[in-house]
């Protein structure tokens, strides 16, 4: 905990003064372009990975980067998505999974979650992903790493389907006011793979956003 407190002191002394004007603007409101939905895993930092500043991302985090399908039962994710889309007017939604995901390990082996009943119930929203991989690949032919990787990717695909059921999102998609993006981030290599809906495949971010990256490198 000491390094956390030291970090606060360093932020107030060294970081905040240099960005005081930006923080003063943020004190009066926010206008993020992107709703970034990712896992609660401590190893992933959306602002660090995307090199964005405070106010640029509206971030929602939970175990497994899950988006429950829309229902009449209000939950934190449902309310946050509605607020980001209908009130803040984000124009992009990123759902980002990651390598070595503990939630996806739990989704694969639900028997190991007997002492975590709420986690087990929550990961029911990822069951489609595990069943799709089982049907397509046959888990016995896969290594543990291959199985986990495929479930992680399929989970992102299924959560993209879930978010389309939310009325605010569906309305914006129908009028081309919002775009959805599926990402998987690898801790060890820093590679980000993005989902191509046309081919139902994940490919390196540099291939998907080639023109944008080329402009940045000039």
Q: Residue 16: which residues within 8 A CB-CB, separation 6 or more?
A: 23
Alpha-carbon distance of 141 to 163, in angstroms, equals 32
Q: In the predicted model, is pLDDT for residue 151 greater than 60? A: yes
User: Which residue in this structure is represented by tokens 């495949």?
Assistant: 201
Q: In the predicted model, is pLDDT for residue 182 greater than 60? A: yes
Known binding-site residue numbers: 39, 41, 98, 101
Average pLDDT, integer, range 55-80 = 95
pLDDT tens track for 75-127: 999 999 999 999 999 999 999 999 999 999 999 999 999 999 999 999 999 99
Question: 214 pLDDT band (50/70/90 cuts)?
Answer: low
CATH superfamily of 31-217: Carbonic anhydrase (3.40.1050.10)
What's the pLDDT at 212?
65
Known binding-site residue numbers for Zn(2+): 39, 41, 98, 101
Among residues of the chain, what percentage have pLDDT more than 70?
Answer: 95
CA distances from 106 to 84, 124, 157 (A): 29, 10, 18
- Phi, psi for residue 94 in degrees, rounded to 5: -110, 125
What's the pLDDT at 181?
97
- Where b means 16+ CB within 10 Å and e means fewer, 97-118 reads bbbebebbbbbbebeebeeeee
Alpha-carbon distance of 156 to 193, in angstroms, equals 11
pLDDT tens track for 22-47: 999 999 999 999 999 999 999 999 99
pLDDT tens track for 192-211: 999 999 999 999 998 887 66
Query: Domain spans of the chain?
Result: 31-217
């Amino acid at each position: 905990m000491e390094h956390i407190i030291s970090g606060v002191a360093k932020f107030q002394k060294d970081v905040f003064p240099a960005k005081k004007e930006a923080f003063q603007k943020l004190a009066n409101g926010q206008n993020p372009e992107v709703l970034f939905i990712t896992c609660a895993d401590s190893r992933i930092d959306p602002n660090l990975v995307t090199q964005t500043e405070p106010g640029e991302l509206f971030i929602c985090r939970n175990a497994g980067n899950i988006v429950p399908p829309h229902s009449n039962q209000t939950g934190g994710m449902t309310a946050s998505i509605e607020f980001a889309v209908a009130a803040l007017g984000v124009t992009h939604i990123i759902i980002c999974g990651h390598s070595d995901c503990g939630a996806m390990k739990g989704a694969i082996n639900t028997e190991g979650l007997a002492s975590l009943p709420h986690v087990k119930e929550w990961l029911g929203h990822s069951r489609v992903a595990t069943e799709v991989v089982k049907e397509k690949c046959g888990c016995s032919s896969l290594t543990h790493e291959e199985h986990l990787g495929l479930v992680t990717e399929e989970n992102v695909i299924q959560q993209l389907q879930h978010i389309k059921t939310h009325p605010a999102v569906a309305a914006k998609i129908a009028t081309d006011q919002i775009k959805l993006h599926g990402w998987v981030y690898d801790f060890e290599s820093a590679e980000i793979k993005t989902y191509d809906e046309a081919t139902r495949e994940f490919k390196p971010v540099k291939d998907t956003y080639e023109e944008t990256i080329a402009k940045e490198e000039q």
